[in-house]
Amino acid sequence: MIRRMFAEIDAQCYVMADGDDTYPADCAPELVDKVLTGGADMVVGDRLSSTYFSENKRPFHNLGNTMVRKAINVLFHNDIKDIMTGYRAFSYRFVKTFPVLSKGFEIETEMTIHAVDKNLHVQNVVIDYRDRPTGSESKLNTYSDGFKVLLTIKRLFRTYRPGAFFGLFALALFLIALGFLIPVLIDYRNTGLVERFPTLIVCGFVMIGAVQSFFSGQILKTIYQKNRQDFEMDLYRVTNDYQSKMGSH
């Protein structure tokens, strides 16, 4: 549904809201206004700064929201208050440059990371959250969907921060190799002999893995930077397209 709406509809502002009666409709004008007059590319309806933790009766959802928010804010160096909210407003240029890859509840995470990574203008609007009405059931599975969100964060961190992602693997392998090497060096100092050839061989292979991981990250980082340049040019094209279409109405 999101993919089709973004691809087929041209508008000055797009509003997304979960249809579970948990988000107040009277906040929509404020979200829209920040797009139309405030220059925002994405406006986040922030539940976590208001009534979410008191209204939501599912403690694991509260914990999951907190963990996901902290993980993304640390990994991607931002300060978005509510990563998983289903209440958002978007600009035309956000919609037309956002690649919809996820199908489930990971879409909110993907939108957030896309906006942060591409330096798009993001604003927060604090909204009142109310729990689901009696008889309403959530489609969100705390464990399976939570695991999918974590996998999405890992995938996007690898895609958008390849230098850091593979650098961490390289560092871990280097430390493991160093751990194998130290006993060999101690024996050599004491006896003048290399008595642990199997350990030394394993150390060599692990060190090779560390070097490969490091340079893989650097190569992918270069490719990513080229993709960022292409995105900026695409952003100019979409902005001109928006001005042309909206100016003709």
pLDDT tens readout for residues 147-206? 888 888 888 899 999 999 999 999 999 999 999 999 999 998 888 888 888 899 999 999
Q: Which residue has the higher pLDDT, 80 or 161?
A: 161
Contact 35, 21 (CB under 8 A): no
The arithmetic mean of pLDDT across residues 21-32, rounded, is 89
Structure tokens at 118: 């591409």
Contact 130, 55 (CB under 8 A): yes
pLDDT of 213 reads 97
* pTM (global) more than 0.85: no
Mean of the per-residue pLDDT values for the chain? 86
Structure tokens at 131: 């729990």
Q: Is the pLDDT of residue 139 over 90?
A: no
Q: Look at phi and psi of residue 26 and say left if phi exceeds 0, alpha if psi is from -120 to 50, else beta.
A: alpha
Which residues are paired to 89 by β-bridges?
15, 43
pLDDT of 60 reads 61
Distance of alpha carbon 234 from alpha carbon 121, whole angstroms = 16
CA atoms within 13 A on the CB side of 159: 14
Q: Which residue has the higher pLDDT, 56 or 207?
A: 207
CATH of domain 2-160: 3.90.550.10
Q: Is the pLDDT of residue 141 over 80?
A: no
Residue matched to tokens 């939501």: 56
Write down the domain spans for the chain: 2-160, 162-247
SS3 122: strand
Residue matched to tokens 């549904």: 1
Dump pLDDT digits (tens) for 38-60: 999 999 998 888 877 776 666 66
Long-range Cβ contact pairs of 170-176 (< 8 A, separation 24 or more): 170/210, 170/211, 170/213, 170/214, 170/217, 171/210, 173/206, 173/207, 173/209, 173/210, 173/213, 174/207, 174/210, 176/206
Comparing 11-20, 64-73, 183-192, 236-245, which segment has the lowest mean pLDDT? 64-73
Burial zone of 226 (CB within 10 Å; 0-12 exposed, 13-18 middle, 19+ buried): exposed
Cα 52 to Cα 66, 76, 161, 193: the distances in Å are: 11, 24, 31, 65
Residue 129, phi then psi, degrees to nearest 5 = -110, 140
Q: Which residues contact 24 (CB under 8 A, 6 or more apart)?
A: 127, 128, 130
pLDDT of 142 reads 63
